[in-house]
Structure 1
Amino acid sequence: MDLKNRKLQKYVSLSIGILAYFMLGIVFTFNAYAIALKHAFNYTQTELEYIASSGDLGFCFSFPAGIVFDLFGPRVSCIISLVLTALGFGLMSTATNFRIFFTSKSWLFCAFYFMASVGTQFIYTASGVVNCKNFDRKHTGKILGLLQAVFGISPAIFSALYGGLFVQGHIEDAENQKLAEFLLMLAVLSVCINTFGVVMLETLPEVTAAYDIGQLELIDTNENKIAERNTLQNVTLYNRSDEMNETTPIAGKKISNQPIVEEMKWWQISKTPQFYSILFICIITGGTGGTLTNNITTLVKSAQVHINAIAFTVTIPILASIGRLIGGAVQDYISQKWPDIPKSSTLLFPVTLTCISQIVLVFFNQCFAGLMSASAMAVMAFAFFYVQVYTITVDLFGMKYFAQNTGLMTVGHAVGMVLFQKLFALNYETYSPPGSQTCYGELCTQWFFVLTSILCFFAIVLNFCLMKIERDKRLQYEEESQDS
């Protein structure tokens, strides 16, 4: 494959990645039609949380999706995604035509949503890893930031589509909204995007220095200068060989004191303290941010804020998208500008911001300003957090097994979402009036936010522990280098 075709394939795969991450936002669109689903099937808040959690639980399968990618490549991953997402959303759409049957069998709806969510993880993992490997390491954060930004804006687009085309004026009458048609649209869309992935998503082979020079010669062929280029080729290869032996960071000439990154598989990273620190931070921060994202309409209704909930479901994803773009660029900049600081230090910002947002919700969960500001902080933190977790995983454990390692980290996100949403529902229903499925007032959610505030503070402590582990490893490496 010549350089021109390589460049074309690189951007084709990036385009497929953008479509794949756009499709992933389908899972977080649940918030837009959650109330319609609740009224259509007469589900309790707990049953609704179980359905939402089943979609979040699908994120656990990003780990087996990573294993499948490492073993079989992107094409098989996209085929699995095609089958599961089409079946999942197709069955969900069909279920709306048999409401009486599914009213007493919410577990079946959970199974359908879980299937669709699992399917998205296969193309999500494949497209993310392919694009990280196709582009230079110094651009990993920016590539992930771009893809995650598309993922962030996707729920806003789907929410706007649902509000504009499928609600059809029945804002208060959720049972008459066109939920079946919307779910069918999601099924058709997932089939189209996965088909593109099967056909066009491809990991490019690594390029050596000699190959690179050879291809440049083919592009700039000049018969009168071939002999001169052959001489220059030997000199260039010699110089590149010298450069490869240096430990010079991308940003400049300063020599990094960081130990060489060892390529580690999932069972190897599971033996390290860094893994468990990141995992528990993912459980707490991911569970907190994800639960708030999925329940913002319920929170707004509980507070009796007189504003269309669609304003939240559209505004919040836009903020998430901006946060992901900034988070990826900042991560790359810090890694290149200050290569010797602990990689995990960048996590302090999103973890601390999440904690602040939960404290705000403890005291101001009944007013528009409190809800909007806290939600914005939590979503921005959530956006920063996952871009940075993925790049930190590469920095600590290498790129070769990136798919399975990040998949394992994402399990923490899924566990946190399921656990925290159950706690949210428990608090909500404890203070609901007898015989009612709707709760109003600050007590409906206040104790949940008290709990998440405490846990987020614990996540900050874990983050400092992770930074200390990295610092100790660097100092040990410096001592060993000086001794040798």
Structure 2
Amino acid sequence: MVSRIQVLKYVGFVVGLAAKFVTGSIFVFNAYQDAIKTNFNYTQTEVELLASMLNVGLGIGFVPGIFYDRFGPTLTSGAGLIVSVPVYLLIWSTVKYTEFYSKRIWLMAIYFFLAGFGSVFTYMVALNTNVINFSSKHTGKIVGFLNAFFAGSPSVFATVYYNLFTTGDSTIAENQDFAGFMLFFAILYGIVNIFCMIFLRIYKDDVKDEDVFITSYKDKNGIVLDELTVAVNGNSKHHGDMEETDSDPGTNSQPYSMKQLMCNLNYHLFIWMFACASCVGVVYATNLTVTSKSVHLDKYNDKLTIIIPITNAIVSASIGIVSDIFKEKVPRLGIVIIGCGAFSISLVIVLLFADKYPLFIVATVFTGIGVGIIWSLCPTIMKELFSVEHLGRNWGTCLLLSAIVSFGAQEVFGLLYDEHVPEDMRNSCYGMNCVQEGYGVFVGVSVVGLILGAIILIRKRCCKRLSATDKMA
């Protein structure tokens, strides 16, 4: 019989899905960026600044993460409501004062920063609450489905934008109702945060399905080598001074202090790998319509802008299930490395064949695969390697680094694009050469992420071998 607590957990999960769906709207920027560029006469570098600040706002996730760890989901949702709704109303009002804002890009950038920052409060509530509420054996599935809604929502919002907020030819910026779209977001954020405040709680079952205990790894002289807090489902086995569990021997659920975390090499390798991979995905997705316009494929924007979200959603939903089932045979990190490889393949294709519509679609699908893998599995890996206790802080710090790297990456892309804009053109560039330099840089960035992921995987395997040697001794 299903208990009341279990029902409340599932209700919270459904609300979490809705919250993630709404917060995914920040990645629909590529649909309306041309309207911003035209209305305010911004250069591509200035438009990249707005996209970067939106992502930096999302990247200040450690602040809402720490806030959540301290005050819980209700107050965190309230904070998201207070920040998100007013800032979207401010952005909505900017089209009435285009001359004022065309000369004050810094003020518009602050608005977009706050829009991203407000969304991450809602993001953290949806992610952390459900990860805590459900057993660790379901973490991959829970995070996967949450990310599927987060990832898939831009395709829905892009479709809504092109069908409900445009008139006539949707490729003409003047026909796009950017302001109405921002008002729509203000209403959505208000509704979803109120629902989060009402329904998202941390629930504890009367009977715990996990027992937490302390175990020490000792050498044959009795000296403690490492002390781990391990969560098991009643399947621990004793071997001398060692505890062996059915969980991954490389999994450490011991809560780290911030100082310990900053001194942990695996953490640095992990967050830099994620930063490299995620910044490639952000730059590609943000500049998808810029690229299509440069190679005269912008008539397909309504189709191109939904490819990454749909692919991302499908991958996110499936990869969580697959990684939970096969995590003993196929490490999650190995799948993340495959995701990094998908980015490299995507960039090489678009670098050489962006002007070929079928190949442009293939490149975009590969980007969607990479984004789906890293955003679904990396929060799960973060929990498994560095404890669920400070997940908000740990994952938030990872998001911050990703946002900083993405900020620099987007500005680099914008500067390289603007260098090719002819003087007689209105901030627009046409031809493959407009985007090739930018994508060439990010091929290298994607390869760095691939290498860092491989290093972490090798280190984990070495640790397993050492653990096995200790057990035999």
Same fold by TM (over 0.5)?
Answer: yes
Distance change >3 Å, CA 247–CA 97, structure 1 → 2: farther
State how far apart, in whole Å, the 2-side matches of 1:476 and 1:158 are: 50
State how far apart, in whole Å, the 2-side matches of 1:462 and 1:280 are: 8
Amino acid at match of 1:333: I
Decide which structure has the larger Cα Rg and report it: 1
What is residue 383 of structure 2 aligned with on the other side?
A: 394
Structure 1 residue 460 corresponds to structure 2 residue 450 = yes
Q: 1:271 aligns with which of 263, 276, 281?
A: 263
Amino acid at match of 1:349: I
Amino acid at match of 1:332: D
What is residue 461 of structure 2 aligned with on the other side?
A: 471
Amino acid at match of 2:285: T
Amino acid at match of 1:417: S
Distance change >3 Å, CA 423–CA 93, structure 1 → 2: same
Q: Kindly state the Cα deviation for residue 266 of structure 1 after the two structures are TM-superposed.
A: 4.0
Measured against aligned partners, the alpha-carbon deviations of 1:161-192 in whole angstroms (never above 9, x if no partner) come to 11111102142432242221111111011101
What is residue 282 of structure 1 aligned with on the other side?
A: 274
What is residue 404 of structure 1 aligned with on the other side?
A: 393
Q: Kindly state the Cα deviation for residue 139 of structure 1 after the two structures are TM-superposed.
A: 0.9
Amino acid at match of 1:276: H
Q: Contact 1:141/1:331 (CA < 8 Å) preserved in 2?
A: yes
Gaps of 5+ in 2: 212-231, 240-244
What is residue 223 of structure 1 aligned with on the other side?
A: none
What is residue 180 of structure 1 aligned with on the other side?
A: 179
What is residue 434 of structure 2 aligned with on the other side?
A: 444
Q: Contact 2:252/2:385 (CA < 8 Å) preserved in 1?
A: no
State how far apart, in whole Å, the 2-side matches of 1:378 and 1:267 are: 35
Q: Contact 1:45/1:425 (CA < 8 Å) preserved in 2?
A: yes
What is residue 298 of structure 1 aligned with on the other side?
A: 290
Q: Contact 1:87/1:115 (CA < 8 Å) preserved in 2?
A: no
Q: Contact 1:258/1:477 (CA < 8 Å) preserved in 2?
A: no
What is residue 58 of structure 2 aligned with on the other side?
A: 59
Q: Contact 1:326/1:384 (CA < 8 Å) preserved in 2?
A: no
What is residue 220 of structure 1 aligned with on the other side?
A: none
- % of aligned pairs identical? 25
What is residue 359 of structure 1 aligned with on the other side?
A: 348
Q: Contact 2:58/2:116 (CA < 8 Å) preserved in 1?
A: yes
Q: Structure 1 or 2: larger strand share?
A: 2
Measured against aligned partners, the alpha-carbon deviations of 1:1-60 in whole angstroms (never above 9, x if no partner) come to x96210121011111111110111121111111111111111111111111111011122
List aligned pairs for 1:213-292, cutoff 5 A: 243=234, 245-246=236-237, 257-258=249-250, 261-292=253-284
What is residue 116 of structure 1 aligned with on the other side?
A: 115
Q: Kindly state the Cα deviation for residue 299 of structure 1 after the two structures are TM-superposed.
A: 0.5
Q: Kindly state the Cα deviation for residue 263 of structure 1 after the two structures are TM-superposed.
A: 2.6
State how far apart, in whole Å, the 1-side matches of 2:398 and 2:354 are: 31
Amino acid at match of 1:6: I
What is residue 322 of structure 2 aligned with on the other side?
A: 330
Distance change >3 Å, CA 42–CA 255, structure 1 → 2: closer
State how far apart, in whole Å, the 2-side matches of 1:191 and 1:314 are: 25
Q: Contact 2:209/2:233 (CA < 8 Å) preserved in 1?
A: no
TM-score, with normalisation over the residues of structure 2? Answer: 0.89
User: The residue matched to 1:243 in structure 2 has which SS?
Assistant: coil
What is residue 35 of structure 1 aligned with on the other side?
A: 34
State how far apart, in whole Å, the 2-side matches of 1:46 and 1:11 are: 44
Corresponding residue pairs, total: 447
Measured against aligned partners, the alpha-carbon deviations of 1:264-307 in whole angstroms (never above 9, x if no partner) come to 24432221111111111122111111111111011000011263
Q: Contact 2:279/2:403 (CA < 8 Å) preserved in 1?
A: yes
List aligned pairs for 1:188-227, cutoff 5 A: 188-208=187-207
Amino acid at match of 1:21: K
Measured against aligned partners, the alpha-carbon deviations of 1:178-224 in whole angstroms (never above 9, x if no partner) come to 22111111101110110111121101125435999xxxxxxxxxxxx
What is residue 99 of structure 1 aligned with on the other side?
A: 98
State how far apart, in whole Å, the 2-side matches of 1:386 and 1:144 are: 9
State how far apart, in whole Å, the 2-side matches of 1:142 and 1:210 are: 17
State how far apart, in whole Å, the 1-side matches of 2:375 and 2:261 are: 18
User: The residue matched to 1:50 in structure 2 has which SS?
Assistant: helix
Amino acid at match of 2:448: F
Q: Contact 1:88/1:114 (CA < 8 Å) preserved in 2?
A: no
Structure 1 residue 384 corresponds to structure 2 residue 378 = no
Q: Is the deviation greater in 310-319 or in 80-89?
A: 310-319
Q: Kindly state the Cα deviation for residue 449 of structure 1 after the two structures are TM-superposed.
A: 1.6
What is residue 84 of structure 2 aligned with on the other side?
A: 85
Q: Kindly state the Cα deviation for residue 479 of structure 1 after the two structures are TM-superposed.
A: 2.7
Q: Is the deviation greater in 310-319 or in 293-302?
A: 310-319
State how far apart, in whole Å, the 2-side matches of 1:397 and 1:255 are: 14
Amino acid at match of 2:188: L
* Aligned-CA RMSD value: 2.3
State how far apart, in whole Å, the 1-side matches of 2:116 and 2:125 are: 15
Distance change >3 Å, CA 259–CA 126, structure 1 → 2: closer
User: The residue matched to 1:438 in structure 2 has which SS?
Assistant: coil
State how far apart, in whole Å, the 2-side matches of 1:129 and 1:298 are: 35
What is residue 4 of structure 1 aligned with on the other side?
A: 3
State how far apart, in whole Å, the 1-side matches of 2:208 and 2:246 are: 23
What is residue 215 of structure 2 aligned with on the other side?
A: none
Q: Contact 2:275/2:398 (CA < 8 Å) preserved in 1?
A: no
Amino acid at match of 2:272: F
Distance change >3 Å, CA 117–CA 257, structure 1 → 2: closer
